[in-house]
Amino acid sequence: MDNYLLKCDNVCYVYHTLQGEIPAIDHLSFAVRQGEFVSIVGPSGCGKSTLLNLLTGLLRPEQGSIVRCDERRNNADFYGYMLQQDQLFEWYTIWENVTLGLRINHNLTDEKRQYIEALLEKYQLLSFKDNKPSSLSGGMRQRAALIRTLAMEPELLILDEPFSALDYQSRLSVADDIGQIIRQENKTAILVTHDIGEAISLSSRVLILSKRPAHLIKEVSLPFRERNLSPLAIRHQKDFSDYFNLIWKELNDSHVSYTSQKANDLHA
């Protein structure tokens, strides 16, 4: 794949325990292009967290390779993270929160200040920069958390179930906000989620993983981002349900196949 930012080639990983080996990732290959938004879905316990740890260098593949386009940048600079909680410090102001990483690295230059102020103004947070996080709505807090990540100018955003702590209505609204910010800032992102609708509304591609050990069942390319629609608007497209049902069927068939294989193994 040309112009890739990250390439995962035939990766395998096994956990070695006192009880024996536990295969987690099985010959997994895919690539992510610059500016692309890729979602990863799969059954609970299939190995998605292990995959993220492999992609970000916390674990090393036992087989295969993971290659970044720019090996000169270390992992801390290359990756930016959004997790289930916004991780804002309640005793800091919004400005202190969004500049924290730069201040820790002694890199809060005038140019960086201007960049962060521009982001805060663009995404309706500049007037709240002296507020504490407790005075902000859930959506505003998530925007602040994303701006804190963008301030470090990472090459690749890793979104690990970033909306799962929110109620359904807030989740839709915040996902819409974050999806549009990532698109407007032309950032590359990988989202791990259990929510099929979320994956479809945010992504240009969805990678469907099998039960553990995870391998790639199917890669679904989506047309919606090319239509320049917001994530919320995508959910109202006529073909949205077609893609939802396709991904749902692949996940369900994988579960049935896995269960049947386990039953066969028990009776072998």
Q: What are the pLDDT digits (tens) for 32-79?
A: 998 899 999 988 878 888 898 898 888 999 999 998 876 656 666 788
- Kindly list the structural domains of the chain, giving each domain's residue range(s) and its CATH number in brackets, ordered by start: 1-73+197-268 (3.40.50)
Distance of alpha carbon 55 from alpha carbon 256, whole angstroms: 28
Strands 63-68 and 37-41: unpaired
User: Measured between alpha carbons, how far is 146 from 2 in angstroms, rounded to an integer?
Assistant: 28
Among the ranges given (100-104, 166-170, 229-233), the one the predictor scored with the smallest mean pLDDT: 166-170
pLDDT for residue 248 is more than 90: yes
What integer pLDDT is reported at residue 72 of this predicted model? 59
Three-class SS state of 191? strand
Give the confidence band of 265 by pLDDT, cuts at 50, 70, 90.
very low
Mean pLDDT over all residues of the chain?
A: 85
The proportion of the chain whose per-residue pLDDT surpasses 90, expressed as a percent, equals 43
User: Is 264 a residue whose pLDDT tops 80?
Assistant: no
Dist CA 122 CA 248 (whole Å)? 37
Q: In this structure, which long-range contacts are made by residues 256-262, counting pairs with CB atoms below 8 Å and at least 24 apart in sequence? A: 258/43, 258/210, 258/211
List the beta bridge partners of residue 37. 189
